[in-house]
Amino acid sequence: MYLQNPVFIPGPTNLPEVLRKASDMPTIDHRSPLFGEILRPALAGVKKVVKSEAASIFVFPATGTGGWETAITNTLSPGDRVLVARYGMFSHRWIDMCKRHGLDVSVIETPWGSGAPVDRYEEMLTADKAHQIKAVLVTHNETATGVKSDIAAVRHALDSARHPAMLFVDGVSSIASMEFRMDDWGVDVAVTGSQKGFMLPAGLAITAFSPKALAALETAKLPRTFFDVRDMSKSYENNAYPYTPAVGLLNGLKVSTEMLLAEGLENVFARHNRIAAGIRAAVRAWGLELCASSEDLYSDTVSAIRTPDGFDATSVVTHAAKKYDVAFGVGLGEVAGKVFRIGHLGSLTDVMALSGIATAEMVMADLGLGIKLGSGVAAAQEYYRKNQVSGDRGAA
């Protein structure tokens, strides 16, 4: 396999050389003062990235799935009712986790390609006069379908219903790439991972807890040991972990947040939006459609592209890997074989995106889809030429 080509999967993302080097460091004593010089800036940086003044940040040696488990086990008890919509593979997996933990899960079945059904959330919250629902779970960016949901609108639904339930948000493929306002949106637990917008290898589950979520620790009865934020918080007081931390990845997280903040979060979000818009222009030029059912749902981190009926979309991914050593994402769950995915988040530039578009064109032409070579590239080029920001070079 030729390893110099960028990847176009929605995570893990491309590693900037500076972050690869930051994560590749000599062993240090993780109970020494030196570790605190890594830990404290990393936590402070994440807090700024999620745009919160009040949140407490907890970072575990895990992935986003570990972050989901951290959210529910630290705040809920067996039998507690949670409200969640299923509209993609990752909302589905969070539902499955809640059921395995013995929670009473109220599921709103929603077509894949749609976003979080805000009206149904509000309807069910308003009907819950006894306030039995303890938490509302929302996947901000559904990676399987390329759909983003309106978290501010979900918060408005909670407020309109005058409901005290906590709001948990899976931001694994949105945080550090798309607008995320933890305090403004009233998010109680935000979950993400190191391998997406933070441009690091997989291995860190990154969580942010509001004061309300921290207060729930005192009554939560679900079992937790490895993911107990009380143990983590106590260890943080001494610049330590309750067990051995992933020191290299934490050092990478420190440098990653410095890079994101130096670029400027609004610039980071604008870069992702511009790159995504160029790819969407290419999709239109190909005569294809996105899985997302409307433009307001289009994700700025991943595009799920529908292929014609009867065509196995997975073959696009396998052919690209075999012939061109380029990685795209397969369809998952209900859209398996119906879409292929182009990830466009993290360390990515317009020029890199153009190489992915060109490769996708070659693959589809090889497979007889009738795609005119250069059509998508030209559409994206035209968009990027008109929307380039002077001095914007992206994360490098």
Does 242 share its domain with 281?
no
* C-alpha torsion sign, points 13, 385, 373, 337: positive
CA dihedral 60, 63, 67, 70 (to 10 degrees): -60
Average pLDDT, the chain: 96
CATH of the domain at 93: 3.40.640.10
Tens of pLDDT along 340-380?
999 999 999 999 999 999 999 999 999 999 999 999 999 99
Domain boundary among 231, 262, 293: 262
250 pLDDT more than 90: yes
**What are the CA-CA distances from residue 96 to residues 11, 65, 141, 343 (Å)?**
22, 11, 18, 25
pLDDT digits (tens, 9 = 90+) for 98-157: 999 999 999 999 999 999 999 999 999 999 999 999 999 999 999 999 999 999 999 999
Q: Is the pLDDT of residue 70 over 60?
A: yes
DSSP sequence for 312-342: -THHHHHHHHHHH---BEEP-GGGTTTEEEE
User: In this structure, are 215 and 276 located in the same domain?
Assistant: no
* Average pLDDT for 160-184: 98
pLDDT at position 395: 52
Q: Are residues 249 and 290 in the same domain?
A: no
Among 262, 281, 305, identify where a domain stops: 262
Residues 104 and 210 in one domain: yes
* Same domain flag for 172 and 202: yes
Q: For residue 137, tell me if it sits in a domain.
A: yes
**Structure-derived torsion over alpha carbons of residues 196, 49, 302, 152, reported in degrees to the nearest 10:** 140
Helices (DSSP H) in 218-341: which residue ranges?
Answer: 229-236, 247-263, 265-286, 314-324
The residue with tokens 């700025």 is 300
- pLDDT, tens only, 277-300: 999 999 999 999 999 999 999 999
Residue 9 within a domain:
no
Cα 300 from Cα 367, distance rounded (Å): 27
Indicate whether 234 and 349 sit together in one domain: no
| pLDDT recorded at residue 130 | 98
Q: Are 114 and 87 in contact (CB under 8 A)?
A: yes
CATH value at residue 289: 3.90.1150.10
Contacts of 32-36 spanning 24+ positions with Cβ under 8 A: 33/239, 35/239, 35/240, 35/245, 35/247, 36/239
On whether both 210 and 309 belong to a single domain, the answer is: no
pLDDT above 70 covers what percent of the chain?
Answer: 97
Structural domain includes residue 337: yes
CA–CA separation, 91 and 139 (whole Å): 6
Instruction: Show which of 262, 278, 309 is a domain's final residue.
Output: 262
> Is residue 390 scored above 90 in pLDDT?
no
How many whole angstroms separate alpha carbon 206 and alpha carbon 63?
A: 8
pLDDT at 151: 98
From the list 191, 209, 193, 192, the residue with the least C-alpha distance to 201 is: 193
pLDDT band at 67 (very low <50, low <70, confident <90, very high): very high
Residue 290 belongs to domain spanning? 265-387
Q: Does residue 102 fall inside a structural domain?
A: yes
For residue 139 the two structure tokens come to 């996947």
246 and 315 both lie in a single domain: no
Give the pLDDT score at 49: 98
Task: Report the relative pairing of strands 339-343 and 302-306 from DSSP bridges.
Answer: antiparallel
Domain count, the chain: 2
∠64-206-81 over CA atoms, to 5°?
A: 65
Residue 393 lies in a domain: no
Q: What does each C-alpha distance from 229 to 58, 112, 284, 326 come to in angstroms?
A: 7, 34, 46, 39
The pLDDT of residue 396 is 47
Q: How many whole angstroms separate alpha carbon 84 and alpha carbon 152?
A: 16
Residues 212-226: pLDDT tens digits?
A: 999 999 999 999 999
Predicted local confidence at residue 168, as pLDDT: 98
- Residue 212 and residue 352 in one domain: no
Nearest to 331 by CA among 291, 296, 368: 291
User: CA 241 to CA 230: how far, in whole Å?
Assistant: 11
| Per-residue confidence band for 388, with pLDDT thresholds at 50, 70 and 90 | confident
- pLDDT of 389 above 90: no
Do 242 and 287 lie in one domain? The reply is: no
Check pLDDT > 60 for residue 393.
no
Domain check: are 79 and 179 in the same one? yes
Domain-embedded: residue 363:
yes
Answer whether residue 11 is part of any domain: no
If asked whether residues 247 and 269 sit together in one domain, one would say no
Angle of helix 375-387 versus helix 265-286 axis, rounded to 10: 150
**Could you tell me if residue 394 is inside a domain?**
no
